[in-house]
Amino acid sequence: MKFTTRQFLKTAGLFGAGLLLAACGKKEPPPAPAAAAPASAAAPAPAPAKVYVVGTDAAYAPFESQNEKGEIVGFDIDVLKAAAAKADIEVKFVNTPWEGIFNALGQGDRDMVVSSVTITDERKQTMDFSTPYFDAVQLIAVKENSKVAKFDDLKKLKVGVQTGTTGDEAVTKLLGKTSTAIKRFESTPLALKELESGGVDAVVADNGVVIHYVANNPGSKFKTVADKSFAPEQYGVALKKGNAELLAKVNQGLADIKADGTYDKIFAQYFGAPPAAAAAPAPAASK
Ligand code: ARG
């Protein structure tokens, strides 16, 4: 834009008048806006938002695992992050061994546990659960050449499980509390490695993890065996008993991401199809 000298002087004149006004203003008692501006700009930083510590056993792909950079990633992680964003709370994930994960929750070392935790009546006695966010069921992994065709066939075999999981419970029920044929491992991948090396004849674990492992380890030469006798399971966010406020926020966040399609997007990203096409958390769509 080109100025003529006249226009320039006019503009400069106005500017000068503005300065003059400002200068005059300084002599007056500080006007309200001048006093308010620094107050809001230099207000003491608001107390940092509480960051909720979330325990997860990050050896459970595709639900929770550690990537090459050591970051905790997975379906559960994305679901909780999205729900937390809706509920306006901050979360931070801390890798926590499965054994002891509920103790850490009870002692307050973790505010939540998000670790493909199946909601069970027994667990409900010592912790609170969010609304369910995923449907699961136990699945058997065996070598490709195994004759195992159903859960009952495991009765005379050595079976690997992750200690204290619902898979452990199911196998303990089948083989008996005192059975020495149950081999318990601190992680599900360790149990599956033992299957590969022949230390156990089968592994019973959550379907999502078994399917993911079999698909990503073709060299293991595993196959999966489903059995209708396994009870349907649902994952929930576990909280220390009595934390109603946080529980309500988590539930609100979960409801929001289910309502606005975020949940379906995350689901499709990990499992390739919307929940309705797989094991559906949609009650209306069930049998
Ligand atoms: N859903 C099973 C249970 O609650 C297994 C969960 C194991 N989770 C994990 N991240 N290792 O018992």
Give the residue, out of 73, 93, 112, 117, with the most ligand 1 atoms within 8 A of its beta carbon, to mutate for a pocket test: 117
| Residues with a CB atom less than 6 Å from ligand 1 | 57, 60, 64, 98, 115-118, 162, 165-166, 188, 206
Is the Cβ–Cβ distance between 161 and 182 less than 8 Å? yes
Closest ligand 1 atom, residue 58 Cα: 10
Residue 280 confidence (pLDDT): 43
Tell me the mean pLDDT per 10 residues along the chain, length 287. 43 40 43 49 75 98 98 98 98 98 98 98 98 98 98 98 98 98 98 98 98 96 98 98 97 98 97 66 40
Could you report the per-residue pLDDT of 55-94, keeping only the tens digit for each? 999 999 999 999 999 999 999 999 999 999 999 999 999 9
Give the Å distance between the CA of 65 and the centre of ligand 1. 13
Please report the pLDDT score of residue 46 as a whole number. 78
Q: What is the pLDDT of residue 103?
A: 98
Mutate to test the pocket of ligand 1, among 64, 79, 115, 172 (most ligand atoms within 8 A of CB): 115
Protein residue whose Cα sits closest to atom 12 of ligand 1: 165
Which of 63, 118, 213 is the pocket-test mutation for ligand 1 (most atoms within 8 Å of CB)? 118
Output the pLDDT for position 187.
98
The pLDDT value given to residue 10: 44
Q: Which residue has the tokens 């992994």?
A: 141
**What's the pLDDT at 40?**
53
Å from CA of 155 to ligand 1 middle:
23
Task: Output the CA 164–ligand 1 centroid distance in Å.
Answer: 8
